[in-house]
Amino acid sequence: MEFRDKQAIYLQIAEYVCEQILLGKWLPGDKISSIRELAIFMEVTPNTIQRTYDYLQQEEVIVNKRGVGYFVSEDGPEKVLKFRRDLFIQNDLPVMFRNMYLLKVSGEDVTKRFEEFIKENFKETK
């Protein structure tokens, strides 16, 4: 995985885990990758994954069943959706709206391109 410079790696990995949940690849009650497995996959230390999992547990997205592993919490998808939606509205939309205004991009232009993007990239989920 290519990591961005301006955000902590553990938070970028948390975004990956949340994306798997939002895409329905990891469902409520599903066991997720172990710390070691995800560390190898992401090419980071197990400590980084532990920090990610601790963070996601605090957000009540995942739960740890001692001796068994980590699982998506029953309301994990709802927690992820709310958390990610709030961040998007607070951080990303103002920048997008500013750029739309400066570049004279209409809401209709965005809607059309958004619909095309969904058709091309999320065929299996709709």
pLDDT digits (tens, 9 = 90+) for 89-107: 998 999 999 999 999 999 9
pLDDT at 72: 97
Name the band, by pLDDT with cuts 50, 70 and 90, for residue 42.
very high
- Rounded mean pLDDT of the chain? 93
Burial (CB < 10 A; 0-12, 13-18, 19+), residue 105, is middle
What percentage of the chain has pLDDT greater than the value 90? 83
The domain defined by 1-126 folds into: Arc Repressor Mutant, subunit A (1.10.10)
C-alpha dist (Å) from residue 93 to 40, 89, 97: 34, 5, 6
| DSSP character at residue 92 | I
Contacts of 24 (CB under 8 A, 6+ apart): 125
**Domain layout of the chain by residue ranges:** 1-126
Rounded to a whole number, what is the largest CA-CA distance in the chain? Answer: 56
pLDDT at 119: 93
Helix segments in 27-103, DSSP class H: 35-42, 46-58, 76-87, 93-103
What does pTM read for this prediction? 0.79
Name the band, by pLDDT with cuts 50, 70 and 90, for residue 5.
confident
Q: What is the mean pLDDT of residues 44-48?
A: 97
pLDDT at 123: 75
If we measure between CA atoms, which residue out of 66, 62, 78, 67 comes closest to residue 30? 62
